[in-house]
Structure 1
Amino acid sequence: MRRGHSKSRFGCKQCKKRKVKCDEAKPSCLKCVSRRQNCSYMQTTLPAPISPASTSTPSLSSSTAATSPSQSQSQPVRTRPLSSISTDDASNSSFGASLFEAKYTLLHLEILDHLRSHRLGFDKLHNPALDKFLELAFSEAYQMPYLMDEMLAFAAAHKSTLLTGDLQHLYRTESIRLQTRAVSQVDFDRPSDSGSLAPFLFSTFLGQHVLFDVFSSTLDFAKSLDKLIQCFSLHHGIRSTASKSWETVRHLMYSDPSVDYTVSETLVPLTTEGSHCDGLVDHLEHSGLEQQVLATYTQTVKVLQYLFDSVHSSDTRRMTALQEWPIRISTEYIQLLQQRRPEALVVLAYYGVLLHYAREYWAVGDSGRVLVSSISSHLGDYWSDWLTWPQQEVEQT
């Protein structure tokens, strides 16, 4: 006898082309949804056959699709429903992946609530632009999943500092996992990313988060220094990213036209006035260094002095200065740090003073004092004169 026909007569075009059985679900069959491809059906006037299984428990797609011609003509289409968005459309949108993947749990909702209610511990820094910054961040995060992941990761890191034991470990682990997922999603070469505020906001949160990871670790000085050098290298990428959308951010966040908030890829420091680094400059000039190496140190110290001037002129600069220095330093100085050059470590100790000035900030804490003390112990008594001012500064304040 002739075998029975098992193929679907009214399947979608894609399943027919692949010669596989289609479940005929509308508007997209399950096979097309799982393959994340567009699903379309041939025009036909015959009703789709109803299987015995579907007569007892009708599916949501079949019930919602069963509308009469009169109903469809009387109800004008004003918006495009989510059910009509194909997987191809979703893959081209910034939020499309969330339509098909359950990326967030109740734990993430709790972290989001912590992010909103605690404002990440920024209150003590007295930054008048903080409210506007967080408002912009939330607005962009709902469109860019990688920014949402990094904001949640940063908030989880903050919450871990308020807890102990297993709960602290839970939030610290989730913070690292979310940060890893966020970084894996970033593609700043896409036009949708490079032209938005999300890259700048993401870079800001990531830069602070990496600093926290470095200074909250319990590694020895050598391993901590390696992580700090990696952090500085990351900030060079942040500088390039931030410069693309800084003008937009500046106009949205700052209303005072007389203040210069310039951020560029060159980042030439402004003129300096203070004398905090005079002793360091004197030691460098009499150390017999090669001219090229001396020029690298001189430029780096000039950036330090500029930041010391800005911190002493405004309390709002305490947090931004500690992230601005690694953005402004040169690749040549980072290479000298990698070589463990003593002069480079002394300059890093002066950066530890900037960290100490921002010790009220939870992501920094007592890391400035620890950094200065670790460098002093590593270099020994021979370099004690070079480190006199940093040690006095972290001990007296």
Structure 2
Amino acid sequence: MRRGHTKSRFGCKQCKKRKVKCDEAKPSCLKCVSRRQQCTYVQTTLPSPISPASTATPSLSSSTTAAFPAQPQRQPVKDWVAPLSSTSTHDAASSLHGPSFSEAKYTLLHLEILDHLRSQRLGFNELQNPAFDKFLELAFAEAYQTPYLMDEMLAFAAAYKSTLVTGDLQHLYRTESIRLQTRAVSQVDFDRPPDSGSLAPFLFSTFLGQHVLFDVFSSTLDFAKSLDKLIQCFNLHHGIRSTASKSWEIVRHLMYSDPSADYTVSRTLVPLTTEGSHCDGLIDHLEHSGLDQQTLSTYSQTVKVLQYLFDSVHSSDTRRMTALQEWPIRISTEYIQLLQQRRPEALVVLAYYGVLLHYAREYWAVGDSGRLLVSSISNHLGDYWADWLVWPQQEVERI
């Protein structure tokens, strides 16, 4: 008898060219994902569950860190998933042959990730904060009506699950996290003003910002490449600031019982005066460094933001996490340019941000990245700048 057929009939072009069996996963098979190469399929009459996209981390690609391209308007979730019920038997039967059923975008894996997101509260089960609970409640309510927000929330939760497992499962969750983030970003039109009362832009920007920070902190690149990745992350956060600010007033009134009170995430400017002394040594070094007035002003404003955040992290456990994203949102373009030029003073300021990271080391998206960042900057600058880095090094070693 003839041996049964074992080759993949509908495999991708790359696997066919290499003459290997393809698992036919969409938009990219696992073999192409592992080889970090583009995966393309021959056009068929069946729609793919996920639009073809690059498997590289979208949040750090050149196209993403620039302005997000205009995309088609969002579709409600009911157009993305197969219908579960109908008003009549006839409607239910006909729905099985409709486009909604054949183009279902979510799988059992996504349901598992969604359940994990709900039950584990993104890894913050021990964090007792009414504003955070309200934030998650708003996020879920909006995500069921906004597919790109649901995709990014699932992507972020998949990234979290990847930190809890090893081996093939870790690769599975990380790959799915990348795919979902790619799909989410491809749907968003950041140039289009948000709908009146829409929370999706703010919520999406918040999850995306945290996700991008995780992508940076979990990389195993050398210092130079990691720094480039971090700078791209900071540039992306400037776009996030613009997007989130459009919905902030709506979010503030829904999340806080007293919207006029001091709140966790603020659009206001940093106070004129700060209370702490964490950055006093850094300010003294900068003032005696002989820098020109414009550069000194840039550093002074950046350090002022740092001191404001150091003051705020002691107010609540939640601030330790939100401060991580608030600093890249608040820093100026001029400081990012100095950091891109590898100016030593800019790297020292970044080391102080590493201390903020270290304060939030129990957050799964950060881990020990603060200590590693301070150590990498110290090794890069050498002994000449050791006096500038005394406090950051002592702080990450002390706690």
TM-score computed with the length of structure 2 as normaliser: 0.74
Q: What is the one-letter code of the residue matched to 1:179?
A: Q
What corresponds to 2:365 in structure 1? 363
Q: Tell me, which stretches of 5 or more residues in structure 1 are unaligned?
A: 1-33, 35-89
Taking the TM superposition and a 5 Å limit, the aligned residue runs for 1:44-123 are 93-95=75-77, 97-98=79-80, 100=100, 101-123=103-125
Q: Deviations over 1:88-142 (max 9, x none)?
A: xx97853464163221111111111111111111234443311111110011101
- Per-residue deviation, 1:282: 0.4
- Per-residue deviation, 1:330: 0.3
- Per-residue deviation, 1:316: 2.6
CA contact (8 A) 2:298 2:334 kept: yes
Is it true that 1:272 corresponds to 2:274 in the alignment?
A: yes
Distance in 2 of aligned mates of 1:113 and 1:314: 27
CA contact (8 A) 2:305 2:327 kept: yes
Q: Deviations over 1:215-270 (max 9, x none)?
A: 00111111111111111111111111111111111111111345223733x74445
Q: Deviations over 1:59-105 (max 9, x none)?
A: xxxxxxxxxxxxxxxxxxxxxxxxxxxxxxx9785346416322111
Q: Tell me, which stretches of 5 or more residues in structure 2 are unaligned?
A: 1-46, 48-71, 82-99
Distance in 1 of aligned mates of 2:180 and 2:130: 28
What corresponds to 1:165 in structure 2? 167
- Per-residue deviation, 1:177: 1.0
Q: What is the one-letter code of the residue matched to 1:263?
A: S
- Per-residue deviation, 1:384: 0.5
What corresponds to 1:345 in structure 2? 347
Which of 310, 322, 332 does residue 320 from structure 1 map onto?
322
What corresponds to 2:391 in structure 1? 389
What corresponds to 1:80 in structure 2? none
- Per-residue deviation, 1:312: 2.1
Distance in 2 of aligned mates of 1:359 and 1:125: 14
CA contact (8 A) 2:74 2:147 kept: no
Distance in 2 of aligned mates of 1:206 and 1:194: 22
What corresponds to 2:336 in structure 1? 334
Query: Cα 1:220–1:269, aligned 2, differ >3 Å: closer, same or farther?
Result: farther
CA contact (8 A) 1:270 1:306 kept: no
CA contact (8 A) 2:73 2:189 kept: no
CA contact (8 A) 1:197 1:248 kept: yes
Query: Cα 1:254–1:389, aligned 2, differ >3 Å: closer, same or farther?
Result: same
What corresponds to 1:263 in structure 2? 266
| Between 370-379 and 253-262, the greater mean CA deviation after superposition | 253-262
- Per-residue deviation, 1:193: 4.7
Query: Cα 1:276–1:268, aligned 2, differ >3 Å: closer, same or farther?
Result: closer
Which of 232, 238, 261 does residue 236 from structure 1 map onto?
238
Q: Which has the larger radius of gyration?
A: 1
Greater relative contact order (CA < 8 Å, ≥ 6 in sequence): 2
CA contact (8 A) 1:124 1:360 kept: no
Dislocated runs of 4+, deviation >4 Å: 90-93, 191-195
CA contact (8 A) 1:203 1:242 kept: yes
Distance in 2 of aligned mates of 1:319 and 1:142: 26
Distance in 1 of aligned mates of 2:110 and 2:133: 22
Partner secondary structure for residue 386 of structure 1: helix
TM-score computed with the length of structure 1 as normaliser: 0.74
Q: What is the one-letter code of the residue matched to 2:215?
A: D
CA contact (8 A) 1:243 1:263 kept: no
The alignment yields a C-alpha RMSD, in angstroms, of 2.1
What corresponds to 1:76 in structure 2? none
What corresponds to 1:128 in structure 2? 130
Alignment coverage as a number of residue pairs: 309
Query: Cα 1:295–1:286, aligned 2, differ >3 Å: closer, same or farther?
Result: same
Distance in 1 of aligned mates of 2:272 and 2:106: 44
Distance in 2 of aligned mates of 1:271 and 1:247: 25
Partner secondary structure for residue 130 of structure 2: coil
Distance in 2 of aligned mates of 1:349 and 1:236: 20
Partner secondary structure for residue 314 of structure 2: helix
